[in-house]
Structure 1
Amino acid sequence: MNLPEGFWLLTAIVIVGSALLFYLRWRRSGVEPEVGMADTGSAIESFSRAFPDLPIRNVVMTRDGSSAFLRLADSRVGFVEHAALHSAARLLEPQTLTVGAPPDSQTINIAFPGAAGGGLFEFSSVEEAAEVSLWLCGEFAVVGADSPALAEKSDGE
């Protein structure tokens, strides 16, 4: 059986071209960013779609960018978590959260009530973790300057 002239050249071109395409696809897959929210704007957009009437005061992203905690104008806390191709937004009520011991000072361990979500949330800095922790604690009653305990302490100094 005789093969047409140039058959081996054409076969070699197809094999080399296919190998090149597979190589480039493999290289590109390693360069693509992880699936997550790119910035605070994505978190704000996701939360605003779910809760359009709640103004946002501040946003703190987790280190990996998969979650964001949002401080709302009415002192409540919002939460956005990005998973696969969608994101979920929720309002967090500080009185209903369960907080566990974190492994380090940049991490918060939270269990959400009635949901499978929660876990360890690592932040870029200790300050960000502390700020979100304070948001989750809720509002505390501030002792006034006319309090006897505070007055005794300030007079003794």
Structure 2
Amino acid sequence: MISWFAIVASLFAAAYIYQRMKRQEAEDLSEPDEGQAILDFGRAFPDEAIRAIHPTADGHAFFVRLHDGKAGIVLSQGRHYLCHLIVPGKVRITHAQSGRGLALSFNDTATFDGTYEFPNAETAAEVSLWILGSFSS
């Protein structure tokens, strides 16, 4: 009788631990990681040196300033990040209605199209200057 009780208790404990681990994993996936975004951008574009990075207000996109005046974007897709080098002439940029965001429309890929809100207007202005600066080179 005691052995059946021990087996049932062990199964309940294992199920509880499994559910806690799954819940923790789901929480970890819900928060994009700036460090992982930097690593993934470095893997996608190994010849590009990152000078600065700014996350959006929700943290699901990161804008990257590169050493030679170019700019890039990194989108969070769960555990994975999509990386794109912004090419002059392939993107249209406008300011969002809120004043803290940028609306981007890419000619070469619609995956990165959207409105990106930043924590403040200064960050949005700085990122827009990065993108516009990449056009001059």
Q: Please, which runs of 5 or more residues in structure 2 have no aligned partner? A: none
Query: Within 2, Cα distance between the matches of 1:22 and 1:113?
Result: 49
Instruction: Provide the C-alpha distance between the structure 1 equivalents of 2:135 and 2:17, rounded to a whole number of angstroms.
Output: 58
Structure 1 residues 34, 101: closer, same or farther in 2, change over 3 A? same
Deviation at 1:129, TM superposition (A): 0.9
The 1-side partners of 2:129 and 2:95 are apart by 15
TM-score (structure 1 length as normaliser): 0.66
Q: How many residues align?
A: 134
- For CA contacts below 8 A with separation 6 or more, give which structure has more relative contact order: 2
Cα pair 2:88 2:135 within 8 Å, conserved: no
Q: Provide, for residues 46-73 of structure 1, a one-character-per-residue CA deviation record: whole Å limited to 9, x for no partner.
A: 1110111111111111122221111111
Tell me the C-alpha RMSD between the 2 structures. Answer: 3.2
Q: Deviation at 1:89?
A: 1.2
Higher share of residues assigned helix: 2
The verdict on how the C-alpha distance between 1:83 and 1:49 changes in structure 2, with shifts beyond 3 A counting, is same
Query: In 2, distance between residues paired with 1:103 and 1:34?
Result: 30
Look up the SS of the partner of 2:32 in the other structure: coil
- Structure that is richer in strand per residue: 2
Identity %: 32
In structure 2, the CA distance between the partners of 1:51 and 1:20, relative to structure 1 (3 Å rule), is: closer
Larger Rg: 1
Matched, 1:82 2:57: no
Structure 1: which 5+ runs fail to align?
A: 142-157
Distance 1:50 1:63, change over 3 A: same
User: Match of 2:123?
Assistant: 128
Quote the Cα distance in structure 1 between the aligned partners of 2:88 and 2:53: 17
